[in-house]
Amino acid sequence: MEKPPKKLKKTPTKSLKKTPSKNPKKTSDAEKISSKFKAVPRRKSSLKSIHPKKDRAPARTQAESQHRYYEDLGARIAARAYELYVQRGQEHGHDFEDWLEAERQILPKEMLERS
């Protein structure tokens, strides 16, 4: 019969714990943090970024500008039509007439300002 293999003797390993030095150096929290995060020098590039900055609002297109203008114009006409309604004594049934009169009053002014 075969003999079982001999068991190897384990040698004691050295402790992984560090022994405290006699004069420990005290470090502040800021030094601990700064030692973890070291600044990495960046390469200076003479080329400007070709990508637009994300925090800038995109330029409005002509269609968007016109849309905003006509929304504002419609709001001013509606406000003037309401004033005419109130001047009439808030009499119902004349809303279309009030709207047309408000357009007659506001649109000529707008055409002069835009030209």
Pick the residue with more confidence: 92 or 110? Answer: 92
For the chain, domain boundaries: 60-115
Spatial separation of the C-alpha atoms in residues 73 and 75, rounded to whole Å? 5
The pLDDT assigned to 17 comes to 59
pTM greater than 0.75: no
The pLDDT assigned to 26 comes to 64
Q: Where are the alpha helices (DSSP H) in 1-115?
A: 29-36, 62-87, 95-114
The pLDDT assigned to 56 comes to 62
Task: Provide the pLDDT confidence category of residue 102 given band limits of 50, 70 and 90.
Answer: very high
The pLDDT assigned to 35 comes to 59
Instruction: Please write the tens of the pLDDT for every residue from 49-91.
Output: 555 555 666 667 888 888 888 889 999 999 999 999 999 999 9
